[in-house]
Amino acid sequence: MIRKLADALHQRGRLVHMHNEVFPDRTPDRIWIPDVAKRGWIIVTRDKRLQTRHIEWMAFLRARARVLWFKGDRSSDLAIKDGFLLALPKIDKLTSHLSPPYIIKITPAGYIEQVYPELATK
């Protein structure tokens, strides 16, 4: 998570933990993902290759993680913060009805999409 977003969330009363403040640098995913999920924390990532990283994706699901995935490969830190804050009410509404694991994609325009579990189509 970027510092500007963390600070903005903290100013809105959200409890925020930066990865590098909790875990040593280069802590393997197999260690930190289950630990974060067990604590009930939400993982915020902007990993542009998340959809193609099958092992990381499966680690999120296996750990029953709550994941908010910012999808804006070339977005500035300010655009990420603004898009995330714009989406925050929608994120809160959606996640209040979801049980982990879940992965929600957020765009720079503040749109959200539930990526996992997939919504049933009629």
How is residue 103 annotated by DSSP? Answer: E
Any domain includes 122: no
In the three-class reduction of DSSP (H, G, I as helix; E, B as strand; rest coil), residue 25 is classed as: coil
Residue among 94, 106, 95 at smallest CA distance from 65 = 95
pTM value surpassing 0.85: yes
Range of the domain at 96: 3-116
- pLDDT tens string, the chain, 122 residues long: the values are 588 889 999 999 999 999 889 999 899 888 999 999 999 999 998 876 677 778 888 889 999 999 999 887 788 888 889 999 999 999 999 999 899 999 999 999 999 999 999 875 54
What domain count does the chain have?
A: 1
Any domain includes 34: yes
